[in-house]
Amino acid sequence: MRGGGLLVAGTTSDAGKSVVTAGICRWLVRQGVKVAPFKGQNMSLNSFVTREGAEIGRAQAMQAQAARVEPTALMNPVLLKPGSDRSSQVVLMGKPVGELSARGYHGGRQRELFEPVLACLEELRGTYDAVICEGAGSPAEINLRRTDIVNMGIARAAKLPVVVVGDIDRGGVFAQFFGTTALLSPEDQSLVAGYLVNKFRGDVTLLEPGLDMLHGLTGRRTFGVLPYAHGLGIDEEDGLRVSLRGTVRESVVTPPVGEDVLRVAVCAVPLMSNFTDVDALAAEPGVVVRFVDRPEELVDADLVVVPGTRGTVKALAWLRERGLADALVRRAAEGRPVLGVCGGFQALGERIEDEVESKAGVVDGLGLLPVRVRFAPEKTLARPVGEALGERVEGYEIHHGVAEVLGGEAFLDGCRVGSVWGTHWHGSLESDGFRRAFLREVAAAAGRRFVPAPDTSFGALREEQLDRLGDLIEEHADTDALLRLIEEGAPEGLPFVPPGAP
């Protein structure tokens, strides 16, 4: 096999495209297939820096790990990072190229990117046995089809077979499958080979009559029914998959090693980016992680995290409006732990000079760290390695803000004053030894008899999760049929389902 491919589309956003794509990648690589993920255009504040210094969607980095290959910019050539409801930063081949309104992007700029996106896909197909592509939203966004570079546009140009994923847990999956197909043009429909049901609970035999009827209505088969899988804290592109009152992701809090649990509150700032930074905390036995948006929710927290954000100045205003800023200042005065990461680190400083992101000029920070930040037009994209608390640390940086550290104790690229820490480094808590040392410091400052587990490996836990995704595909999908699709393309003679695209 060389250059095979498949597009995993979805009836909606969050139907499960990212995890299904990762699952197929893991299943294929376990069969000895050299496979790579691809998503032509991604809209996400959850991003990652590749070894060559390119910014891509975190979901594609996760899928690359599932495929056991190094992530590159080829796998996500266009990344849109929202700065408001109406505009996004456009990242092309891992580097920012400007800020565009939604109208400006879909009005012409998006179509200009079609050839570079297609070239990236073709380069991957020339290198790998198979490329598993992820769509975005729904392929039946009829208002956007003309400029589409991520769903049926790329499928048509690259002659990719398409499998549509639907989330049955939300209800209405049969209508979604039928309606998605029926809103596509005959040319697009000819590539839609069939469907995958995701997040099914119960007796699958009760579902089978509906699948038979769907086949009769559309002429297309269902390639599998994937059961609902609990506790998959896999990186997502643009959703928290959690309510503000819920525990982070779908993590299960295991019993603590020591006598106490450790409670972590994450301020749910606007335009939150890389919320996956706290996944490693949630993986620790006895650590309870919640997203919060009220000052009273900080009272019983042993650690408060101010996470990254695409809008530091906006996040500062939000913290002040909500009363969270005053609560953070009180915590610092009482010697209670606070960690700021990237934009959160900037917010904890003395002053921000921003003529780039918010164009607000000089804005006072919370004054908890002796740091002054100036926003530069160039974005820092790096994969630093260092040491803190006596342990080796790896991370990645994605920020326009340049920090001038004027005092305190050195902490990675930032500083520490008392029980307040700040750094630009995302992903640092995934370094197991450092995470344990940091949690020991937090527990001591909080007066908790919490003991980090001596053997928690975040990397091993991630591998287990990716293997679970591969198992879901291997055990509950028709893998022989999927392999034929990848190798041979969509079957000939798929029937047209009226009315088609308007």
Catalytic residue IDs? 342, 426
What's the distance, Cα to Cα, between the start and end of the chain in Å?
A: 38
Phi–psi pair at 379, nearest 5 degrees:
-90, 135
Within 10 angstroms of residue 159's Cβ, the number of other Cβ atoms is 10
**For residue 499, cis peptide bond before it (omega within 30 degrees of 0):** yes
d(Cα 498, Cα 185) in Å, to the nearest integer?
A: 9
The position carrying tokens 């729904």 is 138
Asked if 193 contacts 468 with a C-beta cutoff of 8 angstroms, the reply is no
- DSSP class per residue in 76-130: --EEEEESSSSEEEEEETTEEEEEEEHHHIIIIIHHHTHHHHHHHHHHHHHHSSE
Taken in order 79, 83, 86, 89, the sign of the CA dihedral is negative
Using alpha carbons only, give the angle 436, 387, 249 rounded to the nearest 5 degrees.
Answer: 45
Give the pair of three-digit tokens for residue 206: 């009760």
Q: Which residues have C-beta within 8 Å of that of residue 263, sequence separation ≥ 6?
A: 288, 290, 300, 301, 302, 303
